[in-house]
Structure 1
C-alpha cells in the first residue's frame, strides 16, 4: 500500500485569479513558472493571501540570495547540490550582485530555472502528508516535545484545535459559536486537502492564545499569537502576480543566512531553536516569513483531520528591522522601536490617513521617531537605480486580522484590507525643495483638521438634541471620512512629478471644502423643530453666545472651515 502524499511542489493548492478572472488552484511550480499569467493570489481571505505571499517570497529570497538568474552561486558562497548553504565568506558579501539579479529577473518578466530546480531538489520537504509533514511534526516528535500527559491519545485527545477554529472565516471554538458564520453548523469542520493546507499555514501566522498545551521547556514562556498578528503589514501589489512577488523581494543590506524552517537539519532542531526564544532582529527574512507559532500534528481518522497543537514561544520583536512588511512605533518612555499594530479602534481609519507611517514626509532627517518600513526603503532603492520606469504606479496594501483585544484569547474578530495607489516618482520624490510626500502629508493634516471641525459641529448638534455621549459625532465623522476616501485616493493616484504642486494642493482643498460643506448641509436637511428653535447658550466659555440653534452651529462650522482651508 502506497503511503499517502500531497506534495505542494506539484499538487494544486494555491488559489489564484488568472488574467480572464477565473479562480484556479495551482502548485508551487505552476506559480513560479507562470506567475505573470495570474492577476493575484485569491485565497479564502486577504489575510491568507498575505501569508501565502510571504511563503512564496521566502522561497525566492532563499534562492536568489544564493544564486544569480542563471543559477551561478555568488562568489562569496559555497552551496551543495540541493542549493543549501555550505560556507559563506560574509566579509565579501556584495549586495550589488543581488540587486543586479533582481533587475535582470524583473526585466525578464518571469522567474528563472534556479527556483524551479530548488523546489524539485527539495520536494520531499514540501509534502503535506510526508514523514516530515510540511508546517507540522510527526507523532514521534510531537510526543517527544510535549508533557507526558499531553501526548497524542486518540481515545481522549488533549490539546486539539478544530478546523472551524483555524478557518479564519469562522474562527469558532467549541465554547463560543460563531453566529454569523459563512458555514452551516454541520459543515463548519468540512475542508478539502488544499483548503486545509492554506489554513494550516495561515494559522501559524494568526493564532490566538487559547491553547492549553505548550511545548516542554525548562524556562517559562509566553505563547506566540503568530508573528503577523503583531504587525501593521504593508506590502506592494503589482499588475500581475510576478510583479507583486518581485516588488516584495527584498535583499538585506548586510549578509543574512537565509534559512526557512525546512532547511534546518531536522524539525527537532527547529523546535529547539524557537524554544531558545531568539530575538526576531537576529533572524533572516525567510525565517521570519515562515515562522511557526505552533507545533502541529495531524492524525487522520476516517479521512478527517484531528489537529494536535502545542504553543511555541513568542519572539521579542524589539527593533526587528529585518522584517520588511510593517510600520513601526517608538515607545516614548524607553525609546525602543517595535512593529506597530492595528486595534479595534483603527477600523474606521483608512490607510491614506496614516501616510506618514509608510514614507518619510520630509527630505531631511527631522523625523527622528519615524522608521520607514523596509519594503519602502527597498522600493526607493530600486527606483533610484532606475530599475522601475518613472511612471510606475505602485499600489501599497495593508491587510491584517485584528484580535478581540483580550489578552487570554486574542481571537480574530475582523479583517482590515486597504490600499492606496501612487506613482513611484511621487512617493520617492528627489526634489526636496518641493517634496511631494511633504505636500501630501500637509493635505492629510488639513483634512484631519477639517475632520475635527466636523466632529465639533456634529457634537454640538448632539448636545442641542440633549443626547448623552459622543456616539452621534463619532458615527457622523466616520461617515464623513468614508465620503472622503475615494476622492482622496483618486487625487493621490493622479499626482505626477511634472505638475505644479500648488495647483494640485489647491485642487484637493477645493474638493475638501465642497465635501465638508455638503456633508454638513445633509445634516441640516434633517433638522427637527427643536434643532431650529434652539436654546439660549449659558456657557460663557463658548464662542457662540445668545441663541444657539442648528443654523448658528452651522455658521460657526463654516467659519472654521474657511479659516482652515485658504
Structure 2
C-alpha cells in the first residue's frame, strides 16, 4: 500500500457546520483559517467533536503562546501580556492564514495518517497489540468481539470498513475515550484506565461561530490566572513514546496534555479503506491534582490527612443546570471551577463585557462495569448571560443556587408522594421515575428563566418569584396527575406498617410541603 498517504494538513477530514446549516469537510489548517465562517464543528458525535476541538486548541495554543496575532515571535511571559494577546486575536476576528500554515508546514511529515515511521497519533510498534475491527473504532457502534450492539446506527459494509477521513476523526475519539478491555502484552503492567478525556467531565465554552468557540477555550493563562510552566510540546513536536502503559508526570504545558497519547494505536487498511486497528495501553498519570486540565468539572475528595479535587464525570440523569453551583460558582474552598470557566471570567473582565450571552457544552462517555466497555454517550448545554459569572453577580449566583435547591426539595416531595401513593395502592413505588418526570417538565422553563436574567437591570426578588410560581404550578399539576392515575384503590387507601395511606391524605401532605418550601 502507498506510504505516506492522507496528510491531515491537505486532505478534508474535519466536519464543520456552515451558516446555512449545510455541512462541509475541511483540512486541519482550513478548520482554523476559516473558523470565523463556520458555525461549529459537526462531527459524528458531540464526544468526537470534543476530541477534535482539543486538537485544534493544541495547535492554536502552541502557536499563540510563542507568537503574536501576526505571527511575530513573542513568547508570553506575563499574565498581562497573555490577556493582551488574547484580546488582539479576538478583535482581529480570524486567524491569519500564513501564521497557521507556516507553523504546521514545519511538521508536515508528522501529519500523515499512514507513514512508515510517524503515522499521525500512532506508532508502528502498536502492530503487536490487540487487534480490533472498524466496528470498535466507530464510536457510534463501539462493538468488540465480545459485545455486539443489538440496534446499531450502522450496518453492513460500514461495520467492516471506513473511509480515511472518518478514520482520522475516530482515531482521535479512540485515543480519548477507549475503555479498559484491552489486555497488556507485557507482564505486571499497571492499568492506564480509560483515555484521559474519558476520565473527565468535559466542558467547553461555545461562541457564535467556530472562531469564537476556539478563542473562548484558548486558555493562555492556567485557570485564568497564572502562566503555564512549560513550553508547549504537542505530540507532533515530540518523539512518540513506544513503551506500553507508561506512567508519566502530569504535563506542565497545555498542548502536551491536549494531545496526550492515551493509547498506542495503528490503523489497519486494505484497498484504500480502514478495516481495523491495533491498540496498546499508552501514557497515563494520577488524575488527582491534575489541575493543568482546563476542560473538566471537579469534585472535592476528603481523606484523613488531606483534601483535593479530582475530575468529576457527568451524571447523564442530571440536567446541566442542576449542577450550576459546582460548575460555575466558586462559593468556597470545597468548589473548584473548570479552567475554561475561570478563563471566561478573566477575558470578560478584560473585554468589559456586560450583556453578552454565553453557552457552555458538556459531553461524556458512559462506561460499564469497571470502565470495561462503553455503555452510552451523553451531552448537554446551558446558556445564560455571561455577567452571571462575574464577581459583581455574587448575589444572583446565590439566589440561583437557592432556586435549584428548591427544585431539589420539590423533586423530593414528588418522590415522597409517589411512595405514599404506591403504599395506598399496594404496589411498588418508582420514586426515581417520578422525580425524573418532574425534572423533565421543569427543564425548559428553568432554562428559559436562567437565559432571560439580566443581572444589571432585573430585580432579584421579582425574577425569582416568577420562577417559584412556575415550579409550584408544575409541581401541583404533576401531583394531581399522580393522584388521578392512582385510581379508586388508592383513594380508599390501606394500612401498611400500622399507618393508613390514602391518596387524599398523600396529596394534602404534598401541598403542605410545597407551601413550606416556597413560603
Query: What TM-score range do you get, normalising by the shorter chain?
Result: over 0.9
C-alpha distance in structure 1 between counterparts of 2:217 and 2:113, whole Å: 26
Which of 110, 133, 153 pairs up with 1:125?
110
SS of match in other structure, 1:40: strand
1:73-114 CA distance string (max 9 Å, x none): 2257xxxxxxxxxxxxxxxx2132222111111111101232
For residues 70 and 379 of structure 2, what CA distance do their matches in structure 1 show?
37
Q: 1:531 to 1:287 in 2, by over 3 A?
A: same
2:380 alignment counterpart: 418
Partner Cα distance (1:431, 1:47) in 2: 32
Give the conservation status (yes or no) of the 8 Å contact 1:171–1:412: yes
Paired residue for 1:61? 61
Kindly indicate whether residue 182 of structure 2 is the aligned counterpart of residue 211 of structure 1.
yes
The counterpart of 1:492, out of the listed 450, 453, 458, is 450
Provide the residue aligned with 1:171 in structure 2.
142
Name the counterpart of 1:8: 8
Equivalent pairs counted in the alignment come to 508
Contact 1:258 1:284 in 2 (8 A): yes
- The alpha-carbon distance between structure 1 residues 537 and 199, as it changes in their structure 2 partners (threshold 3 A), is closer
Q: Segments of 4+ in structure 1 off by > 6 A?
A: none
2: CA distance, partners of 1:298 / 1:54? 21
Structure 2 unaligned regions, length at least 5: none
Equivalent residue number for residue 189 of structure 1: 160
Separation in 2 of the partners of 1:396 and 1:98?
23
Q: Distance in 2 between matches of 1:539 and 1:320?
A: 54
Take 1:299 and 1:553, find their aligned partners in 2: how far apart are those partners?
63
Contact in 1 for aligned 2:330/2:336 (Cα 8 Å): no
Q: Distance in 1 between matches of 2:165 and 2:483?
A: 54
Match of 2:475 among 516, 519, 528: 516
Q: Is the 8 A contact 1:221 1:313 kept in 2?
A: no
Query: SS where residue 430 of structure 1 aligns?
Result: helix
**Partner residue, 1:466:** 426
* 1:62 aligned counterpart, secondary structure: helix
**Does residue 250 of the first structure (1) align with residue 210 of the second (2)?**
no
Shift of 1:271: 3.7
The CA deviation at 1:348 is: 1.9
- 1:475 is aligned to 2:475: no
Deviation per residue, 1:179-212 (Å, 9 max, x gap): 0101224531221110011011110000011113
Output the CA distance in 1 between the equivalents of 2:75 and 2:4. 41
CA drift of 1:302 comes to 3.8
Shift of 1:537: 6.5
Partner of 1:436: 396
Equivalent residues in 2 for 1:289-368 (5 A)? 289-304=258-273, 305-333=275-303, 334-342=306-314, 346-360=315-329, 362=331, 367-368=332-333
SS of equivalent residue, structure 1 residue 59: helix
Determine which of 98, 102, 110 is the counterpart of 2:86.
102
Residue 90 (structure 1) aligns with:
none
Partner of 1:232: 201
Answer yes or no: is the 8 Å Cα contact 1:236–1:397 preserved in 2. yes
TM-score (norm 2): 0.93
Q: Deviations over 1:350-395 (max 9, x none)?
A: 1110111112254xxxx111111111111001111125x3111110
Q: Which residue of 2 aligns with 1:382?
A: 347
Partner SS, residue 55 of structure 2: helix
SS at match of 1:400: strand
Q: Is the 8 A contact 1:531 1:549 kept in 2?
A: yes
Q: How far off its partner does 1:33 sit?
A: 1.5
RMSD: 2.0
Contact 1:279/1:317, CA 8 A, preserved across alignment: no
Residue 535 (structure 1) aligns with: 494
Which residue of structure 2 aligns with residue 555 of structure 1?
508
